A and B are shown apart, each in its own frame.
Chain A
Amino acid sequence: MLVMMVVLALFFAMVLLLTSLINDHKHLTNILFMAGILSPALIFIFHSTPVDIDMVVGGWQPISGIAIGLDNYSRYFLVAELIVFGIVGFYSLFYYQDEPRKNKFFGLILIMHAGMMGVFLSKDLFNIFVLMELASASAFALVAFSGGERAQKAAFRYLIFSIIASYLFLLSIGIIYANTGSLNFELIRENITRSREIDIAIALAFTAMILKTGIFPLHFWLPDVYSESDTPICALLAGMTRRAPIYAMLLFTIYLPMNHLSQLLMIVAFASIFFGFIMAMFQNDVWRLLAYASIGLMGIVLVGIATENFMGVTYYVFAHAIVTVGLFLTTGTISDQQKTRNIRDLTYRHHMLIFISVIMLSFALGSMSPSLNAYAKNELLIGLSRMEAFLFQSAFVLALLIMFKMNYLLWHGGYDKQLDTRVTPRSFISAIPAALSIALGIYLYPTLVLVDILLLGAAGALFFLFLSMNMLEYTGIEKLGERFKDLPTTNNFYFMVYFGFLVVFLLYTF
């Protein structure tokens, strides 16, 4: 019955696109869209059980069928997916109210919904590849639809690199199939013996997934894609699409022998954390700032994967998905209203609801208790060595520092009395993730930790140091990427980076 979640979303996408060809009826489109978004959630509520589900589609033998399942990890991923798509679905109803190409956007979002749910349900390697491609292909199209020439360029780069990563992932699937004779994760675990070929396959798969997640140094496609797309699209990309490769990495870590890579993954993770947060400090565009911050936060997830802390990763992904969607929707709402994305001109001072939710989300992103992220952070700390734990905690000082900067500039932005202060449906929906994050945080983790207060104090002190040194005005790093403005040449360069990264991973396995 769980397969019906994917099937229903795809079915409604198809019906929506077909009916819009015949008759472009506004309300019908909305109803079909919401049916596609919400009907999988209903199926999930009525058919998921607290015990793990393992089944093969069509009742075949596991060796010849496609295995799907629901376990402790995928359940959280799925719930996060349904929440994110629910919120963004309602938001885009209002966002695309007067958009003539509405049906195309809605159809593509539904296809993405189906793909994401399919990834989180599958326990089969090839199925993960196909459904991830289904989700990414609609993501490319959605980004390309969003804007002008710059959006096309961003989307094209996203497409080229994402598809290469997928093909290398497929190559690794081929190697694993040749060695174990199966694509089913459970059967792979039974038949696998560690060999050089398997090591190469795992290295290939991990580099591919690191690119698709957008972790430093393979993050280059990400900031452009975010800053060029529409608000709901960006929220979906940031909040959900990047979780599919994380889930694939999680399955690899659970079912395949990969402890030889953990040291290298740890280095990549910490590099990504510090690179992302430091770059975010010097951004002017509020979405680029959030994009770089999310590169850092994905590094935090990779720390959990390197230490094989599966539950920590799951909780963090769940918490982070909700917080990111909230941040992108709230900042998107005010930036659409004020027609600017520059953090120095933008302000949230006129809008109490958005002001409160951005503050709450900022604390949640810095993993202050009580929030869901604080709970997840403490889970992730398990299994880290003393040095790593210290670095890990200091990363959150940087995250809080970025949030201080963002809120400071948003408060002091170009305040104008003419701005609309009413609570619109869009601003109301964009405040839901903040409320959800805090409510779940209070329910799960109602304690105030001493370390958190220390981190907050350190971040505050650093922020005032920055302020007194006028560091907030410094934007030199932002121009760093402009040397390669030309799209084909940059693609060549970035592909060499990718190839080099791949070679490092392959050499490390020998």
Chain B
Amino acid sequence: MLNATNVGILIMLIGMYGLMVKKNLIKQLISVNILSVGLVLFFVGIGYVEGGGYPIYPVETAVDPLPAALMITTLVVDVAITSLGLAMIIKMKREKQLEAMVEC
């Protein structure tokens, strides 16, 4: 069945595939991002209620706002980790060049 939770898990599996196959460090980091996007979709799917409205007014059926709120935190974690990983890749490359220059 094609709903948000299932598609989310599918996207997570795509991320895992990338981690198993891709040989480029940046691509590996992007695979982690894809995994996290799948996770976000999965969580948003959990909170979905058939025909639910905004959870702002006291309406009769509203979607569950908690998973979406949790995902904001997860996105922050994801951004922080991605930037840290990219910084490490840049530093790795620079120090490799530095070592090559010293050897020359």
Q: Which residues of A contact B92 (CB under 8 A)?
A: 149, 152-153, 156
What is the bound-complex CA distance between A126 and B35, given in angstroms?
Answer: 18
A488 at the interface (CB under 8 A from B): yes
Say yes or no: A171 contacts B42, CB within 8 Å.
yes
User: Which residues of chain B in 52-92 are interfacial with respect to chain A, using CB atoms and an 8 Å cutoff?
Assistant: 66-67, 70, 73-74, 77, 80-81, 84-85, 87-89, 91-92
Q: Which residue of chain B is the closest to A156 with respect to CB atoms?
A: B88
Chain B's nearest CB lies how many Å from the CB of A188? 14
A495, B46: Cβ atoms under 8 Å?
Answer: no
Known: A156-B25, A174-B67. A133 touches B77 (CB 8 A): yes
Interface residue A291 (Cβ < 8 Å from any Cβ of B): no
- The residue of chain B having its C-beta at the shortest distance from the C-beta of A492 within the complex is B20
Q: Which of A137-145, A334-342, A418-426 lies on the face that meets chain B?
A: A137-145
List, in ascending order, chain B residues with CB within 8 A of A156's CB.
Answer: 25, 85, 88-89, 92
Instruction: Confirm or deny: A177 has a beta carbon within 8 angstroms of a beta carbon on chain B.
Output: yes
Inter-subunit contact B19/A495 (CB<8 Å): yes
Contact of B46 among A152, A174, A488 (CB under 8 A): A174
Name the A residues within 8 Å of B25 (CB-CB): 156, 487-488, 491
Task: Determine if A167 and B46 form an interchain contact, defined as CB atoms under 8 angstroms apart.
Answer: no
Q: How many residues of A contact B (CB 8 A)?
A: 33
> Given the known A-B contacts A148-B95, A160-B28, A489-B23, are A170 and B88 also in contact in the complex, defined by CB atoms under 8 Å?
no
| Cβ contact within 8 Å between A171 and B12 | yes
Contact B80 A137, beta carbon cutoff 8 Å: yes
A440 near B: Cβ within 8 Å? no
Contacts of B5 in A (CB 8 A): 178
Output the least CB separation between B64 and chain A (Å). 9
0 or 1 for each of B2-31: is its CB under 8 Å from A? (1 = yes): 000100010010001001111111001100
Closest-by-CB residue of A relative to B27 is: A488
A148-B95, A149-B92 in contact; A167/B36 too (CB < 8 A)? yes
Provided the pairs A149-B96, A164-B32 are in contact, do residues A488 and B23 lie with their beta carbons within 8 angstroms?
Answer: yes
> Do A140 and B84 contact each other (CB < 8 Å), given the known contacts A148-B95, A164-B32?
yes
Cβ A174 vs Cβ B43 within 8 A: yes
B56 to chain A, nearest CB (A): 16
Could you say which of A153, A170, A499 contacts B20, with CB atoms under 8 Å apart?
A499
Of the four ranges (under 10, 10 to 19, 20 to 34, 35 or more), the interface on chain B belongs to: 35 or more
Are B84 and A488 closer than 8 Å at their CB atoms?
A: no
Say if the beta carbon of A353 comes within 8 Å of chain B: no
Flag if B46 contacts A159 (CB, 8 Å): no
Is A114 an interface position by the 8 A CB rule? no
For the complex, what is the distance from the CA of A163 to the CA of B35, rounded to whole Å? Answer: 10
Q: Check: B103 CB closer than 8 A to any chain A CB.
A: no
| Chain A 479-502 residues near chain B, CB threshold 8 A | 487-489, 491-492, 495-496, 499
**In the bound complex, how far is the Cα of B21 from the Cα of A183, in angstroms?**
35
Residues of chain B within 8 A of A489, CB atoms compared: 23
> Chain B nearest CB: distance from A299 CB in Å?
26
A167/B84 in contact, CB under 8 A: no
Task: Report if A149-B36 is in contact (Cβ < 8 Å); known contacts: A140-B84, A144-B88, A156-B25.
Answer: no
Residues of B within 8 A of A137 (CB): 77, 80-81, 84
User: Are B88 and A163 neighbours in the complex by a CB distance under 8 Å?
Assistant: no
B84, A159: Cβ atoms under 8 Å? yes
Q: Check if B28 sits within 8 Å of A164, measured CB to CB.
A: no
Near B by CB (< 8 A), chain A positions 145-185 give: 148-149, 152-153, 155-156, 159-160, 163-164, 166-167, 170-171, 174, 177-178, 183
CA separation between A495 and B13, bound complex, in Å?
13
Contacting A178 at CB < 8 Å: which of B39, B46, B91? B46
The verdict on A254 contacting chain B, using a C-beta distance below 8 Å, is no
Q: Lowest 6 A-B CB distances belong to which pairs?
A: A152-B92, A149-B95, A488-B23, A495-B19, A178-B46, A156-B88
Q: Which residues of B contact A (CB under 8 A)?
A: 5, 9, 12, 16, 19-25, 28-29, 32, 35-36, 39, 42-43, 46, 66-67, 70, 73-74, 77, 80-81, 84-85, 87-89, 91-92, 95-96, 99
A167-B12, A178-B5, A496-B20 known; 17 new pairs, CB 8 Å cut-off, are: A137-B80, A140-B84, A144-B87, A152-B88, A152-B95, A156-B25, A156-B85, A159-B81, A160-B29, A164-B35, A167-B32, A171-B9, A491-B25, A492-B19, A492-B20, A495-B16, A495-B19
What are 6 inter-chain pairs, A to B, with CB distance below 8 A? A126-B70, A133-B81, A149-B95, A149-B99, A160-B29, A499-B20
